[in-house]
Chains A and B, each alone.
Chain A
Amino acid sequence: MSLEKQRLWLTFSEQLCQRPIICELARSFDLTFNIRSAQVTQRTGIVAIELQGEREVLKQAIQWLENQGVTVEPVEISTIEG
C-alpha cells in the first residue's frame, strides 16, 4: 500500500487548546506528522500540518480529529467559491 501526504490546516477551539490532540493523533494512528506553522491564542489555535500515511488511515485520522471538535481543512482552506 502506497503512502499519501495530506497538507491540512487544523483549527482548535478555546476548549481544545490545552489538550495534546496531535500527540494523541500520532499515538492512535499509524501516520507521521510534520507541523509547518502554528498560532495559538487564548481563544483559538491554528496549525499547518502535513500528515503522511496510508489513504484509509489518513481518512480515519481526519474523521477522528473532526469527532474531537477540530476543524480540518485542506491547505487551500476553501476551494469552493461563490
Chain B
Amino acid sequence: MQTEFFSHLRCRECGRPYPKEAIHVCEWDFGPLEAVYDYEAIRRQISRKRIESRAPTMWRYREFLPLDGEPSVGTQVGFTPLIRAERLAKALGVREAYVKNDTVNYPTLSFKDRVVAVSLSRAKEMGFTVVACASTGNLANSVAANAASVGLESYVLIPADLETSKVMGSLVYGTRVVAIRGPYDKVNRLCSEIAGKYQWAFVNVNLRPYYAEGSKTMGFEIAEQLGWRLPAHTVIPMASGSLLTKIAKSYQEMIDTDLVEKTPFAIHGAQATGCNPISDAFRKGTELVQPVPKPQTIAKSLAIGTPADGYYAIQTIAKSGGAAEDASDEEILDGIRLLAETTGIFAETAGGVTVACSRKLIDSGKIPKEGSVVLCVTGHGLKTAEVLAGVLGSPRLIDPSLREFDRLVSSDLAKAPIPEETNF
C-alpha cells in the first residue's frame, strides 16, 4: 500500500527502488535500503503551526516517519528537553551550549526508544507477532519494554559475558533473553543467521530502514526547540554512525519542506578512543573504515568496531563542514562529571564522550569559541553508574552528633569558594 508521504524503500548505493517490506539490503550491491518520502506532498501538508498544535511527542513529525497508518507503539516517546547550558558553555569555553537531553526519554531513558517506537509500530503494521534485537544494553531494554507495553512477544540476544545489571533491565519486562557464548564476531554472525532464518521483526536487521528513521526525531525536536532554526554546530556520539546521519537528514528535510531557513549546519561526530573506527578514518582522510576488532572502552554503548553506517557518517561530517574526535576513558569520566556538575544531567558514558569531544572540538577551533553548539546526550547515567566507582570519592562519615556536623560545615565554609573558572 502506498500512503500519502512514505512511498518506498531505495538502495542508498545504486538507487534501485524496493517495496515497503521487511528487507534491509539491496539484492544487487548489498547497499543499505532507506525510506523515501514525497517531500513536495509533505511541504503542502505541514507547517510549524500544525506541528506545534500536536502532542509533545516524537510523533508530531509523523509525516517524516515510515509508517502507513498511525503509530501504535511508543506513542509517548520523545520531545525531551533541550536545555540552555550556560555553566557548561563557560566550562567548555564556548559562547552558547545546549544539551538535548535524551537521558529522560520515555520509557527506558535512552534515545533508542525513538527507533524502537518506529520499528515496532511498523512491525505491527506488517503483522509480525514476535520482535527481536541483538544488543548489549539500551536497545535491548527498549525493545523489551516497548514490546511488553503492547503485548508483542520479544527475544533479546546478548553476548554471554554481559554484566548482570545490564541483563536485568531487559529481563524485568518478561522478554526472552538468550545469551550467546563466544567471541563477538561469531556471536554477531549467528545473530545475522537467526535474523535470516526466523521470520521475526528483527528491529535493527530486517526492519532497519524503518528503525533508523526514528533517530531523525531528535533532530526535528532540536530545531523546533531552538525556535525553528538549525544549530550551527551539533555534536553527536557515534556507534554505528546511524544517529549522526539521521540527524543531518532531519535538518535537510526541514529545509526541503520550508520548516526552517536554509542555514549552514556542521555535524560533528564523537567516539571513544578505545573504539574509534569512524573518527580515525575521518582524521586519515579516507571514507573506508578500518574495523576495530577488539574495542576497549568504558563507553560500551558506542563500542561497535565495525560501524554499519561509518562510511555515510564520514561523508555527512565532511559535507557539512564538521569534524570527528574521540575521547579516552579518563576524558569520558571527566565529561560525565562536568555535565552533571554544570547542568544537573547524569549521562551514561556516551554522554561523557559527547562532552569530552565537544571540548576538543572547541579547543581546536573546529567549533568557534564565539559560536553556539548543541550536544546530543543519548542515555541515562544510572545505566552505566558502575564506571564511576572509585572516581567520585566517598561520603564523609560522622557520628550522630550536631557538633561534628557543625565542625564539618565550618571547615567547608573556611575553604575558598570554588572559582567559576575551575578547569574540570
Contact = CB atoms under 8 A, between A and B. Distances in A.
A37 B139 contact: no
B24 interface: yes
Interface residues of A, number: 26
Choose among A36, A72, A73, A81 the residue with the greatest number of B CB atoms under 10 Å from its CB.
A81
A81 to B, nearest CB: 5
Contacts of B301: 82
A46 B286 CA distance: 13
B137 A72 contact: no
Interface in A39-82: 39, 41, 43-44, 46, 48, 62, 66, 71-82
Nearest to A80: B134
Given A37-B13, A81-B136, A82-B135, A75 B188 contact: no
Contacts of A74: 188-189, 192-193
B24 A76 contact: yes
Contacts of B300: 82
B293 interface: yes
B136 A80 contact: yes
Contacts, number: 102
Contacts of A39: 288
Given A9-B30, A76-B192, A46 B288 contact: yes
B350 to A, nearest CB: 8
Interface residues of B, number: 47
Given A77-B306, A78-B306, A81-B239, A43 B288 contact: yes
Contact of A78 (B159, B290, B304): B304
Nearest to B28: A36
B308 interface: yes
Which 3 pairs between the two chains have the least Cβ-Cβ distance?
A: A82-B301, A74-B192, A79-B191
Given A41-B288, A75-B25, A79-B204, 17 more contacts: A36-B28, A37-B31, A44-B286, A46-B288, A48-B29, A48-B30, A73-B185, A74-B188, A74-B192, A76-B208, A78-B307, A79-B191, A80-B157, A80-B159, A80-B304, A81-B136, A82-B304
Interface of A: 7, 9, 11, 13, 36-37, 39, 41, 43-44, 46, 48, 62, 66, 71-82
